[in-house]
Structure 1
Amino acid sequence: MASGGGYNDPSQKIDYVFKVVLNGDSAVGKSQILAGFSRNEFSLDSKATIGVEFQTRTLVIEHKFVKAQIWDTAREGRYRAVPSLYYRGAVGAMLVYDITKRQTFDHIPQWLEELRNHADKNIVIILIGNKSDLEDQRVVPTEDAKEFAQNEGMFFLETSALESTNVEDAFLTVLTEIFRIVNKKTLAAGEEQNDDTLGRGERTG
Structure 2
Amino acid sequence: MEDYVFKIVVIGDSAVGKTQLLGCFTPDEFFLDSKSTIGIEFQTRTVDIARHRVEAQIWDTAGQERYRAVTSAYYRGALNAMLVYDRTFDHVARWVAELRAHADKSIVVMLVGNKADLAGAAARRAVAADEADAFAEEQGLFFSEASALSGDNVERAFLTLLQEIHANVSRKKLEAVHRARSQGHQAVAR
- TM-score interval for Structure 1 and Structure 2 normalised by the shorter chain: 0.7 to 0.9
One-letter identity of the residue aligned with 2:132: A
Structure 1: 4+ residue segments shifted above 6 A: none
Q: Residue 131 of structure 2 aligns to a residue in which SS?
A: helix
- Contact 1:75/1:81 (CA < 8 Å) preserved in 2? no
Q: Which has the higher contact order (CA 8 A, sep 6+)?
A: 1
Letter in 2 for 1:166: N
Unaligned runs of 5+ residues in structure 1 are 1-12, 193-205
The aligned runs of 1:30-45 (5 Å cut-off) are 30-45=18-33
26, 49, 56: which one aligns with 2:14: 26
Give the Cα–Cα distance (whole angstroms) in 2 for the partners of residues 80 and 157 of structure 1. Answer: 25
| Aligned 1:161-200 pairs, distance under 5 A | 161-190=148-177
Report how far residue 79 of structure 1 moved: 8.8
Q: Percent same amino acid at aligned positions?
A: 58
Scaled by the length of structure 2, the TM-score of the pair is: 0.88
DSSP-derived class of the 2:117 partner:
coil
Identify if the C-alpha distance between structure 1 residues 28 and 84 changes in structure 2 by more than 3 Å, giving closer, same or farther. Answer: closer
Q: Which residue of 2 aligns with 1:160?
A: 147
Q: CA deviation at 1:84?
A: 5.2
Deviation at 1:139, TM superposition (A): 1.4
Cα distance between partner residues in 2 of 1:147 and 1:53: 31
Correspondence for 2:56: 68
Where do 1:1-205 residues align within 5 Å? 13-77=1-65, 80-83=68-71, 85-98=73-86, 101-102=87-88, 105-135=89-119, 136=121, 137-190=124-177
Partner of 1:197: none
1:84–1:112 CA distance, 2 compared to 1 (3 A)? closer
Relative distance call for 1:163 and 1:79 in structure 2 (3 A) is closer
Report the number of matched residues.
176
Contact 1:54 1:70 in 2 (8 A): yes
State the match for 1:196 in structure 2: none
Give the aligned CA root-mean-square deviation in angstroms.
1.8
With normalisation by structure 1, the TM-score equals: 0.82
| Residue identity in the other structure for 1:178 | I
Larger radius of gyration: 2
- For residues 83 and 32 of structure 1, do their structure 2 counterparts lie closer, same or farther at Cα, with a shift above 3 Å needed? closer
Q: Secondary structure at the match of 1:106?
A: coil
Instruction: Please tell me the residue identity of whatever aligns with 1:39.
Output: P
CA distance in 1 between partners of 2:72 and 2:65 (Å): 17
Separation in 2 of the partners of 1:91 and 1:186? 15
More helix by proportion, 1 or 2?
Answer: 2
Give the SS at the match of 2:133: helix
